[in-house]
Amino acid sequence: MKLPKEIKIGGLVYKIEEKDLRITEVENNSGYCRVNDEKIVINSELTENVKESTLLHEIIEAINFNHQLELPHSTIMTLEATLYQVIKDNKLFK
């Protein structure tokens, strides 16, 4: 799947940017979500599967922040991995 340029989350439009985070940001970071300016950044050096999973993770992060769910990061990681597995194994999106 090619990552979209933007995505709507809870009525807000988040821009999605791919860039090499090894050079410009924190090392060993797959991506991040900046809710204040509605932006998701994904490490361009990742495989397509990891990019997709990271995007799902950052979507959950945005929902968590915007709805004050206060989910611990371990819960967000579990939701990401499990939801991604369900989506991929059941070919829900092509």
Q: How far apart are CA 57 and CA 62, in angstroms?
A: 9
3-state helix, strand, coil in the chain (%, to 5): 45, 20, 30
The CATH number of residue 11's host domain is 3.30.2010
Domain-located, residue 1: no
* pLDDT at residue 14, as a whole number: 98
Domain-located, residue 55: yes
Mean pLDDT, all residues of the chain: 92
Domain-located, residue 94: no
Domain count, the chain: 1
* pLDDT at residue 38, as a whole number: 97
| pLDDT average, residue stretch 13-31 | 83
Domain range for 52: 6-89
| pLDDT average, residue stretch 79-92 | 95
Q: Tell me the per-residue pLDDT of 38-79, one tens digit each, with 9 for 90 and over.
A: 999 999 999 999 999 999 999 999 999 999 999 999 999 999
